Amino acid sequence: MSFIKFSLECPFKFSFKYDDREGIYELGEKTAIWIHNHQLNFKGPTKSALNELKEFAAKEQTKKTHKPSEIRDKVNSFAKGKEENDEFSMSYQKCSNIHYANLRRMYGLPEEDAENLQELFKLIKNKFPKSLCEMSFRKVTKNNKEINQLENFAVSTEKMSQLYNLFNDVVLVDTTYKTNRFRMPLLVIAGINEDSKIFLLGFALLASEKEENVKWAFQKIFSHLNKKPLIICSDSCPTLNSVIANLFPSTHHLWCGWHVEQNLAKHLQSISKNFFQLSFFKF
């Protein structure tokens, strides 16, 4: 445990400890003392202590995946305390540099992620040869060097395929956005068993929601499942509509009742929302 303590024999102090497992510093709130024995009208801590404080706070905010501008505001607020003094403000560039340096330190370079994922998929395929672990790459130029950048990947297991062979009447498709640090859309495909329980059939992380990416994921996952669905239920996403119509022309494509209800209530606000709930879910 180490301490940063300011002058004037002020009792104010804070501490931080190093977490060997995570490789990061954590604020020791229990040992911190936030009381001053003077008015906050002095010039403040030494430059080195202030820099340590700012960089530490920036690292803490990085863990929450905040944007550099958000980190800067929180760091400046934390460092200034109650004192109004622009001298203690951290620039956006400084905060941005710390932010991305920490991302590289914690996660490595983007190309390293793709390489690690590729190695993981090889291990999974060796141990579970009937599982689907597929990746696609695209050529990009970086620093005058052509590299393979991860574009999409899809996963489905043997157990998922077995469940699908038993229950393939209805398939649910949904996409979530910005739920991971790469901001890649997550496509989830699920089924429903005889007890109306939902089970996972496969998922894919995509470079974008463009038709070519969504089509790639559908082809890989349903090729692994080895059977076309009878009914697909999704939201009214135009990309999904186009891909499903092209790949599964004989499949009945239905829109999710919940999404329909939300849209009707949104665009027809003069009609009671209870009306839509009763109308769509009375069965």
pLDDT over threshold 90, residue 218: yes
Residue pLDDT, tens place only, 32-43: 776 766 655 545
- The strand pair at 231-234 and 252-255 is best described as parallel
CA atoms within 13 A on the CB side of 27: 17
Q: Which residue has the higher pLDDT, 111 or 174?
A: 174
Q: Phi first, then psi: what are they for 214, rounded to 5°? A: -65, -40
Instruction: Name, in order, each residue with C-beta under 8 angstroms of 88's C-beta and a sequence gap of 6 or more.
Output: 44, 50, 76, 79, 80
pLDDT over threshold 90, residue 223: yes
Q: What pLDDT score does 140 carry?
A: 75
Query: Domain residue spans in the chain?
Result: 2-107, 110-281
pLDDT over threshold 50, residue 98: yes
Whether the Cβ atoms of residue 276 and residue 254 lie closer than 8 Å to each other:
no
Q: Interior CA angle at 181 toward 180 and 182, to 5°?
A: 90
Residue 186's SS3 state is: strand
Lowest-pLDDT range of 51-60, 65-74, 110-119, 226-235: 51-60
Residue pLDDT, tens place only, 20-29: 777 777 777 6
Enter the pTM of the model: 0.59
DSSP string, 213-244: HHHHHHHHHHHHHTS--SEEEE---HHHHHHH
CA separation for the pair 55, 59 (Å, rounded):
6
In the sheet that holds 13-19, the strands lie side by side as 2-5, 13-19, 24-27
Q: Which residue has the higher pLDDT, 182 or 156?
A: 156
